[in-house]
């Protein structure tokens, strides 16, 4: 059984991963702040993604586009007209639902009568400058993708790229969701990791399959159990307005199978829509086409888009890593996070905090290790309690300094998953940990 999201939420709050936002004012519905460990986890997820999709490939570049964009982007991308969900209200209890998320035509809360569905646009609106009229209207981007499309030529020409190639981006997106909830699974402000991969028309179906396989394997390589992941083909009626085909990667949460990433074949929809040669586009000043030097022809590339949510992905990693075990008659909670994702790689623990020589030695070890990996020092409890805390936040290694260490310059290294302990000389500690962690990880 997948662990209940409430359990993860409580661990996240207790251990400094994720807090309710604006808590001192009673919070803000479904809005969350990442704490000291949460920001590390999220950074590690983003780093692992960037490493896999940009650094370890030959055909990718990165960008970081603005959140605020010219309003015409959202007109011609189709979001102004179609980025909407059907909203219904209960006439009795006044609760609000997404019509496509409920079964039947009665209120799921009180059984009352519902209003007719009306379409509700999910884009957040704000104004640029001091005058708040229609000419100053701008949106908070609901996807990062458009920042890549409108920069297609900038990237292609400055980086002298030939098809196929892709552009990656990580950044915030905003959607005024009708029913946010399930902890960080559905929120109104979230982060996306998106790739727009530009290919020759006709090769798109092949590239689609390759990306689906690559992205599925990324999760498995980072420790997600394959039986908790599946690929699901979207039905024709579910497809976004731009998509010819979409496969979702879903994770088995306690709320059921739920999307953490979608891989879409967006065809040439976006580049074509944003081009001045599009007869419907009255505002664009450029044609977003690729010039083929060999054939001397302009081609509008097709686009394969793997689009993942940072928050949902981080949540899936947390849920999958969560284990409760019985150890010598006691419950042990341990996050078996992949070492690349663990917020802290090593904790240095003095066995006796009232022995200054031990404390000094432990602090020195931490200082020596910290340029190579995220290391912490902790002496705020008994050794058993300190181990339990590190297990619960997923720290792969604990290093204990004891009385004997002062004599023999050796320390104990404890492995989070096996709880096995080895003695190792301080001189060899760094090299050992770097090897176990698969390299330096800052
Ligand atoms: N550019 C394509 C696109 O945005 P999407 O399926 O709407 O596609 C991609 O979103 C990913 O963004 C989802 O798979 C999910 O991980 C994340 N996401 C979307 N809406 C979200 C929300 N309200 N809260 C958290 N994550 C969300």
User: What is residue 99's DSSP assignment?
Assistant: G
CB 15 within 8 A of CB 37: yes
CB 8 within 8 A of CB 182: no
Residue 442 in this model has a pLDDT that exceeds 70: no
Question: What is the mean predicted confidence (pLDDT) over 55-76?
Answer: 98
Q: How far apart are CA 260 and CA 190, in angstroms?
A: 12
The protein residue with its alpha carbon nearest to ligand 1, atom 2, reads: 307
The protein residue with its alpha carbon nearest to ligand 1, atom 22, reads: 186
Of 243-247, 282-286, 437-441, the poorest mean pLDDT is in: 437-441
Residue 302 in this model has a pLDDT that exceeds 90: yes
Cβ contacts of residue 301 below 8 Å, gap of 6+? 152, 163, 164, 198, 199, 200, 201, 268, 271, 290
Nearest to 307 by CA among 151, 93, 144, 166: 144
Residue 434 in this model has a pLDDT that exceeds 80: yes
Model confidence at 49, pLDDT cuts 50, 70, 90, reads very high
Of 33-42, 89-98, 181-190, the poorest mean pLDDT is in: 89-98
Q: How far apart are CA 88 and CA 77, in angstroms?
A: 26
Q: How far apart are CA 250 and CA 253, in angstroms?
A: 9
Question: What is the mean predicted confidence (pLDDT) over 154-163?
Answer: 98
- The ligand 1 atom nearest the CA atom of 264: 2
CB 286 within 8 A of CB 278: no
Question: What is the mean predicted confidence (pLDDT) over 34-44?
Answer: 98
Q: How far apart are CA 47 and CA 310, in angstroms?
A: 11
CB 13 within 8 A of CB 7: no
User: What is residue 53's DSSP assignment?
Assistant: I
pTM, 2 dp = 0.96
pLDDT per position as a tens digit, 182-204: 999 999 999 999 999 999 999 99
Residue 440 confidence (pLDDT): 76
Residue 415 in this model has a pLDDT that exceeds 90: yes
Q: How far apart are CA 441 and CA 340, in angstroms?
A: 8
Distance 260 CA to ligand 1 centre (A): 8
Question: What is the mean predicted confidence (pLDDT) over 298-308?
Answer: 98
Residue 332 in this model has a pLDDT that exceeds 60: yes
State how beta strands 410-415 and 397-401 pair: antiparallel
Burial 198-209 (b: 16+ CB within 10 A, else e): bbeeeebeebbe
CB 441 within 8 A of CB 374: yes
Query: Does any ligand 1 atom lie closer than 6 A to the CB of residue 311?
Result: yes
Beta-bridge partners for 230: 250
| Phi, psi angles (nearest 5°) of residue 164 | -85, 145
Distance 285 CA to ligand 1 centre (A): 30
Q: In this predicted model, which residue has the larger pLDDT, 233 or 294?
A: 233
Q: Which helix (H) or strand (E) holds 166?
A: strand 165-174
Residue 110 confidence (pLDDT): 94
Model confidence at 393, pLDDT cuts 50, 70, 90, reads very high
Share of the chain above pLDDT 90, in %: 95
Q: How far apart are CA 285 and CA 237, in angstroms?
A: 34
Burial label for 255, CB within 10 Å (0-12, 13-18, 19+), is middle
Cβ contacts of residue 143 below 8 Å, gap of 6+? 173, 192, 194, 307
Query: Does any ligand 1 atom lie closer than 6 A to the CB of residue 215?
Result: no
Residue 1 confidence (pLDDT): 83
- Strands, E, within 268-317: which ranges? 290-292, 297-299, 302-309
Query: Does any ligand 1 atom lie closer than 6 A to the CB of residue 312?
Result: yes
Residue 174 in this model has a pLDDT that exceeds 90: yes
Nearest to 274 by CA among 79, 64, 134: 79
Average pLDDT, the chain: 96
Question: What is the mean predicted confidence (pLDDT) over 255-264?
Answer: 98
Q: How far apart are CA 266 and CA 95, in angstroms?
A: 35
Best of 262, 267, 269 for a ligand 1 pocket test (most atoms within 8 Å of beta carbon): 262
- The ligand 1 atom nearest the CA atom of 249: 14
Question: What is the mean predicted confidence (pLDDT) over 118-139?
Answer: 94
Q: How far apart are CA 67 and CA 294, in angstroms?
A: 37
Question: What is the mean predicted confidence (pLDDT) over 337-349?
Answer: 98
Across the beta sheet with 118-121, what order do the strands follow? 96-98, 84-89, 118-121
CB 306 within 8 A of CB 261: yes
Report CA-CA distances (Å) from 7 to 86, 369, 434.
Answer: 31, 33, 32
Question: What is the mean predicted confidence (pLDDT) over 205-211?
Answer: 98
Residue 262 in this model has a pLDDT that exceeds 80: yes
Model confidence at 388, pLDDT cuts 50, 70, 90, reads very high
DSSP conformation letters of 372-388: TB-EEE--SS-HHHHHH
Question: What is the mean predicted confidence (pLDDT) over 155-174?
Answer: 98
Beta-bridge partners for 373: 441
Residue 441 confidence (pLDDT): 72
Residue 101 confidence (pLDDT): 86
Q: How far apart are CA 37 and CA 225, in angstroms?
A: 23
């Amino acid at each position: 059984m997948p662990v209940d999201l409430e359990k993860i939420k409580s661990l996240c709050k207790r251990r400094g991963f994720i807090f309710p936002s604006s808590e001192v004012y009673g919070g803000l519905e479904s809005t969350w702040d990442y704490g000291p460990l949460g920001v590390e986890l999220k950074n590690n997820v983003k780093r692992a993604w960037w490493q896999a999709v940009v650094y370890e490939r030959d055909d990718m570049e990165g960008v970081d586009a603005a959140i605020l964009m010219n309003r015409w982007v959202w007109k011609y991308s189709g979001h102004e007209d179609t980025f909407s969900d059907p909203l219904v209200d209960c006439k009795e209890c006044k609760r609000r639902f997404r019509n496509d998320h409920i079964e039947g035509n009665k209120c799921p809360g009180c059984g009352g009568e519902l209003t007719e569905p009306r379409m509700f646009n999910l884009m957040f609106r704000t104004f640029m400058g001091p005058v708040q009229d229609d000419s100053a209207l701008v949106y908070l981007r609901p996807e990062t993708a458009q920042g890549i499309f409108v920069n297609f030529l900038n990237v292609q020409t400055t980086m002298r790229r030939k098809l196929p190639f892709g552009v990656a981006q990580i950044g915030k997106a905003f959607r005024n969701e009708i029913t946010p909830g399930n902890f960080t699974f559905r929120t109104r402000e979230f982060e996306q990791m998106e790739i727009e991969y530009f290919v020759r028309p006709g090769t798109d179906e092949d590239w689609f399959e390759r990306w689906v396989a690559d992205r599925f394997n990324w999760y498995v390589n980072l420790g997600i159990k394959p039986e908790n992941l599946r690929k699901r083909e979207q039905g024709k009626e579910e497809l976004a307005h731009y998509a010819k085909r979409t496969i979702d990667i879903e994770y088995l949460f306690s709320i059921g199978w739920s999307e953490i990433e979608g891989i879409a074949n967006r065809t040439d929809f976006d580049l074509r829509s944003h081009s001045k040669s599009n007869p419907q586009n009255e505002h664009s000043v450029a044609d977003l086409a690729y010039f083929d030097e060999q054939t001397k022809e302009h081609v509008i590339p097709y686009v394969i888009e793997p689009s993942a949510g940072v928050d949902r992905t981080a949540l899936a990693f947390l849920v999958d890593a969560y284990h409760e075990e019985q150890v010598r008659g006691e419950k042990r909670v341990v996050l078996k996070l992949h070492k690349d994702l663990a917020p802290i790689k090593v904790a240095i623990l003095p066995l006796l905090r009232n022995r200054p020589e031990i404390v000094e030695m432990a602090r020195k070890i931490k200082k020596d290790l910290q340029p190579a990996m995220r290391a912490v020092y902790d002496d705020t409890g008994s050794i058993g309690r300190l181990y339990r805390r590190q297990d619960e936040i997923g720290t792969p290694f604990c290093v204990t300094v004891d009385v004997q260490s002062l004599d023999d310059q050796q320390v104990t290294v404890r492995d989070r998953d096996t709880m096995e302990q080895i003695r190792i000389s301080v001189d060899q500690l760094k090299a050992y940990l770097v090897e176990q962690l698969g390299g330096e990880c800052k």
